[in-house]
Amino acid sequence: MFIEPNRRREPPHLRTGWIEVICGSMFSGKTEELIRRLNRTRIAKLDVRIFKPTLDTRYHQYDIVSHNATSIPSYPVQRAKDIANLAAGSDVVGIDEAQFFDLEIIDVCTQLANDGKRVIIAGLDMDFEGKPFACMPQLMAVAEYVTKVHAICVVCGDIANYSYRLVPSKDKVLLGETDSYEARCRRCFNLGNDAGRKEWVYEDEGMH
Ligand SMILES: Nc1ncnc2c1ncn2[C@@H]1O[C@H](COP(=O)(O)OP(=O)(O)O)[C@@H](O)[C@H]1O
Ligand SMILES: Cc1cn([C@H]2C[C@H](O)[C@@H](COP(=O)(O)O)O2)c(=O)[nH]c1=O
Ligand SMILES: [Zn+2]
């Protein structure tokens, strides 16, 4: 589990910010982990501002909602630079679905951290083809802390690192959930449609 650095007692002129990236495949718990960290900052009575791209309307227009139905209110914004203005005066900035923001999000997060804020940003590290997704590699490079979380492969039960697309679209951006994506391990992702569903044979016992 990520343990937060405790730097609250620094006087404001000495306060340094930092960037935390939470990344992984779909269903890996990125949003749950983001919400967990943000809730703790609210308990600490810090001024927290939370953002998501307007594009992400899957579960709710305003709230950030996990696949497990935990949620937290957010400001939907169209462009990364909108965050810079709306975050003025805050202590902590939370951002979900980072992969959908324009590349300016890297400079925006850097400036917020330079201004002494804690920036917690979650996003998909890879797209449906297993390629790095938009701003995510650069964000991981400039972050102080990177947490990679994993889902469970729905084909074989191993640790899943990939988001396998079940529908034929080749568009980079295609919103969806279990209707259009599966969490898969490396092997089952590479096998594609040939990946067989789990059917264990215990040789010792001759059981299925
Ligand atoms: N294949 C899976 N592996 C792990 N969790 C899954 C899977 N499918 C659904 N879930 C659910 O998704 C939750 C994580 O959701 P969420 O935090 O929204 O993930 P992410 O933001 O990474 O897509 C888990 O707690 C679990 O209830
Ligand atoms: C792999 C992949 C995903 N998407 C979309 C699908 C979902 O709407 C989000 C990811 O949400 P999550 O909180 O991580 O589950 O991204 C996409 O547009 N393109 C892709 O390649
Ligand atoms: Zn697998």
Q: What is the pLDDT of residue 202?
A: 53
Nearest to 100, CA basis, from 131, 72, 79, 119? 79
Q: Is residue 176 part of a domain?
A: no
Q: Is residue 147 part of a domain?
A: yes
Q: What is the pLDDT of residue 24?
A: 98
Question: How sure is the predictor about 52, in pLDDT bands with cuts at 50, 70 and 90?
Answer: very high
Secondary structure (H, E, C), 2-67: CCCCCCCCCCHHHCCCEEEEEEECCCCCHHHHHHHHHHHHHHCCCCEEEEEECCCCCCCCCCEECC
Task: Check which CATH number belongs to the domain holding 17 and give it.
Answer: 3.40.50.300
Does residue 188 have a known ligand-binding role?
A: yes
Does residue 95 register a pLDDT over 70? yes
Does residue 206 register a pLDDT over 70? no
Cβ proximity of 106 and 82 under 8 Å: no
Q: Is residue 191 part of a domain?
A: no
For residue 131, the enclosing domain spans 12-151
Q: What is the pLDDT of residue 199?
A: 60
* pLDDT tens-digit map of 111-158: 999 999 999 999 999 999 999 999 999 999 999 999 999 999 999 999
Does residue 208 register a pLDDT over 70? no
Residue 164 CB less than 6 A away from ligand 1 = no
Share of the chain above pLDDT 70, in %: 93
User: What's the chain's length in residues?
Assistant: 208
User: Which residue in 20, 33, 97, 182 is the catalytic one?
Assistant: 97
Q: What is the pLDDT of residue 141?
A: 98
Q: What is the pLDDT of residue 165?
A: 98
Q: What does the alpha-carbon distance between residue 18 and residue 205 come to, in Å, rounded to a whole number?
A: 54
Least confident of 21-30, 145-154, 192-201: 192-201
Atom of ligand 2 nearest to the CA of 27: 15
Cβ proximity of 125 and 23 under 8 Å: yes
The ipTM of this complex is 0.99
Token pair listed for 100: 């959908």
Does residue 49 register a pLDDT over 60? yes
Q: What is the pLDDT of residue 102?
A: 97
Residue 99 CB less than 6 A away from ligand 1 = no
pTM here is 0.94
Token pair listed for 94: 């939370």
Q: Which residue has the higher pLDDT, 205 or 6?
A: 6
Q: Is residue 194 part of a domain?
A: no
Q: How far apart are the first and last CA of the chain?
A: 36
Q: Is residue 41 part of a domain?
A: yes
Q: What does the alpha-carbon distance between residue 175 and residue 55 come to, in Å, rounded to a whole number?
A: 9
Cβ proximity of 35 and 41 under 8 Å: no
Q: Is residue 64 part of a domain?
A: yes
Decide if 144 is catalytic.
Answer: no
Ligand nearest to the CA of 196: 3
How many independent structural domains does the chain possess?
1
Does residue 66 have a known ligand-binding role?
A: no
CA angle at 82 for the pair 177 and 129, rounded to the nearest 5°: 35
Q: Is residue 63 part of a domain?
A: yes
Q: Is residue 51 part of a domain?
A: yes
Token pair listed for 139: 């964000």
